[in-house]
């Protein structure tokens, strides 16, 4: 499943209702570490073993209030939601930690 961009707070709220398991990347388009991990995140969304997980991205510069409301303090931040509730989070562009975050719900 491809990574989908979230463009509003309403869209974010809807995705939590519509997707049982969701991983959301909060990123900055000016961050080198965000650009470096973006391809890994996209690749994870294509892995068959993650077929039950939905993948989303939020540009923190475009939606600063959403990022603040969700407690994002570093870029990139990956948040894992199950049943609409945040269950885990990692900060930074660590590929191993990102894959581990997603595998934890399988």
Query: Two tokens at 7?
Result: 């463009």
Question: Other C-beta atoms within 10 Å of 41: how many?
Answer: 22
Strands of the 85-91 sheet, one edge to the other? 4-6, 54-59, 21-27, 77-82, 85-91
pLDDT on residue 44: 96
CATH of the domain at 13: 3.40.30.10
- pTM of the predicted model, to two decimals? 0.96
Which residue range is the domain that position 18 belongs to? 4-103
Closest CA to 55 of 26, 35, 97: 26
pLDDT on residue 29: 93
Q: Which residue has the tokens 């039950």?
A: 52
What integer is the mean pLDDT of 19-32?
A: 96
The domain tally of the chain equals: 1
Alpha-carbon distance of 58 to 25, in angstroms, equals 6
Burial of 83 (0-12, 13-18, 19+ CB in 10 A): exposed
What integer is the mean pLDDT of 50-76?
A: 97
**1 pLDDT exceeds 80?**
no
């Amino acid at each position: 499943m491809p990574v989908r961009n979230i463009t509003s707070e309403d869209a974010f709220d809807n995705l939590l209702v519509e997707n049982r398991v969701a991983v959301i990347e909060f990123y900055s388009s000016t961050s080198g570490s965000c650009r470096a991990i973006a391809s890994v995140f996209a690749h994870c969304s294509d892995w068959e073993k993650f077929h039950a997980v939905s993948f989303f991205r939020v540009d923190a510069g475009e939606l600063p209030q959403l990022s603040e409301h969700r407690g994002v303090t570093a870029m990139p931040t990956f948040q894992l939601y199950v049943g609409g509730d945040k269950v885990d989070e990692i900060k930074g562009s660590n590929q191993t930690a990102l894959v581990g975050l997603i595998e934890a719900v399988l």
